């Protein structure tokens, strides 16, 4: 297994990649969510929007979390259009979203040509409660395919995930649990290639390598690109990775 990391803007780098070189696009774009007013959403850093005021951690902000909803849909649709071009027939796109941006994500996916085939909730047991009603403790993975689902594969994946956010060793505010990502990357055939245009700290890549898929990542921020590089390099030199047997 091998990986490639590009440092730069997602859309710019995508346009340079070759047609039909990718089997699955799995990514977690900035949600541009958080806050009731436009200025709350666009005028604050991710840390200010998403972090408890008494939290002691010192994780870096990430860029691109300040679009309004209209330009968010257009931007995401354009990105997913490029991703569609790169993807082989029957390939998949898996896009993370919170509850607020769900409809926008579904729209963008379909505007880009993907066939929307499902939604998989990811439940986070440690979400904040909400006084006066129902808490919102799920994020969502929107699933699109290029053309139709490949029904010839003997593959049965869950429709729902539950896992806590990484706490120890966390390096990104929105870091995803590797155990969830390991399930998701299986939508890519073994030995195929997974693309993540918003690599962040690289959990998608880590999962891809552990599950025997190649990985191509793109990350704008130097800080996170370096962190992802380090984590991915560490994966290739893990001597226990041959111990990972076939999933039951």
Partner DNA sequence: TAATTGTATGAATCCATGA
Partner DNA sequence: CTCATGGATTCATACAATT
**Least distance between a copy of itself and beta carbon 69 (Å):** 12
66 binds DNA (CB under 7 A): no
Residue 115 to residue 226: CA distance in whole angstroms: 34
Q: How far is the CB of 153 from DNA (least distance, A)?
A: 11
List the x/- string, 162-201, binding to a copy of itself by CB under 8 A.
-------------------------x--------------
- What is the C-alpha separation between 182 and 204, in angstroms, rounded? 8
Q: Is 112 in the site for DNA (CB under 7 A)?
A: no
Tokens of 243: 């111990």
Q: Which two tokens stand for residue 90?
A: 């029957």
Out of 16, 70, 151, 222, name the contact with DNA by CB under 7 A. Answer: 151
202 contacts DNA (rule: CB under 7 A): no
The secondary structure of residue 149, as a DSSP letter, is: -
Specify the stretch interacting with a copy of itself by CB under 8 A; choose among 134-142, 208-216, 218-226, 238-246: 134-142
Residue with Cβ nearer DNA (1 or 59): 59
Q: Which of 51, 69 has the CB closer to DNA?
A: 51
Min separation Cβ 209 and DNA, Å: 21
CB atoms within 10 A of CB 32: 25
C-alpha to C-alpha distance for 220 and 107, rounded to whole angstroms: 25
76 and 101 in contact (C-beta within 8 Å)? Answer: no
Binding of a copy of itself by 133 (CB under 8 A): yes
- Going from the C-alpha of 13 to that of each of 5, 105, 128, 236, 246, the distances in angstroms are 11, 21, 37, 24, 34
What is the spatial distance between Cα 1 and Cα 148, in angstroms, rounded to a whole number? 27
Torsion of CA 179, 183, 184, 189, to 10 degrees: 130
DSSP secondary structure string for all residues of 182-207: HHHGGGSPTT-EEEESS-TT-HHHHH
Q: What Rg, from alpha-carbon coordinates, does the chain have?
A: 17
Q: Which of 93, 112, 173, 181 binds DNA (CB under 7 A)?
A: 173
Q: Which is nearer to DNA, 140 or 215 (CB)?
A: 140
Q: Is 39 in the site for DNA (CB under 7 A)?
A: yes
Residues making contact with DNA (CB under 7 A) = 28-31, 33-40, 43-44, 46, 48-57, 65, 96, 98, 100, 117-118, 124-131, 136, 139, 148-149, 151, 154, 156, 164-165, 167-168, 173-174
């Amino acid at each position: 297994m091998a990986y490639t990391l590009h440092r730069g803007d997602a859309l710019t780098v995508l346009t340079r990649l070759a047609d039909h070189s990718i089997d699955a696009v799995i990514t977690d774009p900035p949600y541009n969510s958080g806050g009731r007013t436009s200025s709350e959403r666009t005028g604050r850093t991710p840390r200010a929007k998403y972090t408890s005021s008494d939290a002691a951690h010192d994780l870096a902000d990430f860029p691109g979390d300040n679009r309004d909803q209209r330009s968010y849909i257009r931007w995401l649709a354009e990105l997913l259009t490029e991703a569609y071009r790169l993807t082989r027939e029957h390939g998949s796109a898996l896009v993370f979203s919170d509850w607020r941006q769900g409809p926008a994500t579904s729209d963008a996916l379909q505007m880009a040509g993907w066939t929307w085939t499902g939604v998989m909730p990811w439940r986070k047991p440690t979400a904040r409660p909400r006084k006066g009603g129902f808490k919102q403790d799920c994020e969502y993975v929107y699933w699109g395919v290029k053309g139709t689902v490949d029904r010839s594969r003997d593959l049965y994946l869950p429709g729902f995930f539950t896992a806590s956010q990484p706490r120890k060793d966390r390096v990104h505010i929105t870091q995803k649990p590797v155990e969830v990502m390991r399930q998701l990357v299986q939508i890519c055939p073994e030995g195929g290639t997974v693309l993540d245009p918003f690599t962040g700290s690289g959990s998608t890549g880590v999962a891809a390598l552990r599950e025997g898929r190649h990985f191509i990542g793109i990350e704008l921020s130097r800080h996170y690109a370096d962190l992802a590089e380090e984590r991915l390099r560490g994966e290739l030199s893990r001597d226990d990775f041959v111990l990972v047997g076939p999933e039951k």
